[in-house]
Amino acid sequence: MIDFGDRISRIRPALAGLLPSSGLFRSSRRGDEAAPVLDMAEGDGDKASGNDRPGDKPGPRNPWQPQAGAGDNRRPPAIEDIFRKRGGGGGGGGGGFPGGPQFRIPQGLAGTSWASLAVGAVVLLWLGTTMVHRISPQEKGVVTTFGSYTRLIDSGMALTLPWPIQSVSTEDVTSIRRESIPEGDGEKLMLTGDQNLVDLTYLVRWSIKDLKLYKFQLADPDQTVREVAEAAMRQSIAEVPLNDAMGSGRATIEQQVRERMQRVLDAYRAGVTIQGVEIKKTDPPTKVVDAFKEVLAAQQEAQSEINRAEAWAQQLTASAQGEAASFDKVYAQYKLAPEVTRRRMYYETMERVLSQTDKVIVEAPGTVPFLPLPQMMQQQASPPPAKPQEGR
């Protein structure tokens, strides 16, 4: 059977040499057995000398005691004294190296260290910035708890749990957003109903209707709005001919695109309202611009000829209608006095016809059979020749 007391008594000199002043082990003999006794008090000089006692087996040399020499009776230093000197002379605080600078944490108010104050300030700043939120009048906030939707916050001041428990993201819900398709100076070709290509540029105006659906229903709502707008525009352009797409049918196309976009986005539950669609440019493809201009010029010339023909037809119709109205008035007078009206019409007709001929008919007897009346009438109608001007 192992005797622990005997073994401890054997290693006691070595421990006493290593810790001369600690006094951790003292022999307490009860009968023939030796047991270690824990003693936290400092040992006296005789027990801390580090020399082997009579009757003990020689052990390792005390590292804290210098080598013994002739006439050297110095007392070895205690380990508590060594650590006390290294620590700057007792007292709590930072450690150091012998002969080097001593590092100590400065003391704050009422004995509190500045490190504690700094940690407290950081904690207060973290709580203030993650718990108190200010929402602008045109914005709303979305509160999420560990990434899951919790509630909405209206404009003003609001309190939440600190991050990372809860976080708040704000979104502008009042302003009108604009998507220009295509972006920049790109070309967007679409096929019309009469198998022609048109380069179309348009603008989509939209706003957020339901912030919860906008944030959590679709992965990328902005891109979804662009794709839905392009699909609706292609469908509407494919239903009309090129002339309507570039001319009078643009307003109808814009209305159809807006209605189709709203139906699709409502089916997606995107939380978006389409405010309007505006077609900014409808041009032919770049490669056929010259030929397209010639076609347009021919169409414009044909349209101008059609307009002139319609104007002449309207004038002729108005003239015929005026003559018919005049005949109706004459007929009304003829019904009142048929004989007088008949004679008047005869005389007016003969006067209008005979005024254009150079013959004169005379029925009275005794008149000279031939008179140069046409020549006389021409002489009277022609102006007299101008007199030559006399030279000065």
> What is the chain's pLDDT, residue by residue, as a tens digit (392 residues)?
455 556 556 666 655 555 544 444 444 444 444 444 444 434 444 444 444 444 445 555 555 555 555 455 555 555 566 655 555 444 444 444 444 455 455 555 555 678 888 888 888 888 777 888 888 888 888 888 888 888 888 888 888 888 888 888 888 888 899 999 988 777 788 989 888 888 899 999 999 999 999 999 998 999 999 999 999 999 999 999 988 888 888 999 999 999 999 999 999 999 999 999 999 988 888 888 788 888 888 988 999 999 999 999 999 999 999 999 988 888 888 888 888 888 888 888 888 887 777 666 666 676 665 666 666 767 766 666 666 555 54
Task: Indicate the residue among 326, 345, 364 that finishes a domain.
Answer: 345
CB atoms within 10 A of CB 50: 21
Q: Give yes or no: residues 275 and 181 share one domain.
A: yes
Cβ pair 166, 145 in contact under 8 A: yes
Q: Give yes or no: residues 123 and 152 share one domain.
A: yes
Taken in order 59, 62, 67, 72, the sign of the CA dihedral is negative
Q: Give yes or no: residues 57 and 20 share one domain.
A: yes
Q: Give yes or no: residues 279 and 298 share one domain.
A: no
Q: Give yes or no: residues 181 and 276 share one domain.
A: yes
> Residue 12's closest CA among 35, 31, 46?
35
Return the H-helix or E-strand segment holding 318. helix 289-336
Return the H-helix or E-strand segment holding 214. helix 211-216
Name the pairing type of β-strands 139-145 and 148-153.
antiparallel
Q: Give yes or no: residues 51 and 128 share one domain.
A: no
In whole angstroms, give the CA distance from residue 65 to residue 50: 7
Task: Indicate the residue among 136, 154, 174 that finishes a domain.
Answer: 174
Total domains present in the chain: 4
In a domain, 127, yes or no: yes
Q: Give yes or no: residues 181 and 170 share one domain.
A: no
Q: Give yes or no: residues 217 and 275 share one domain.
A: yes
Task: Indicate the residue among 322, 345, 368 that finishes a domain.
Answer: 345
The range of the structural domain enclosing residue 299 comes to: 291-345
Q: Give yes or no: residues 169 and 187 share one domain.
A: no
In whole angstroms, give the CA distance from residue 253 to residue 250: 5
Token pair of 113 as six digits: 């260290």
In a domain, 143, yes or no: yes
In a domain, 242, yes or no: yes
CATH code for the domain of 221: 3.30.479.30
| Radius of gyration of the chain, Cα coordinates, nearest whole angstrom | 60
Q: How far apart, in Å, are the Cα atoms of 360 and each of 320, 357, 369, 375, 382?
A: 34, 8, 11, 12, 19
Q: Give yes or no: residues 238 and 301 share one domain.
A: no
Q: Give yes or no: residues 184 and 274 share one domain.
A: yes
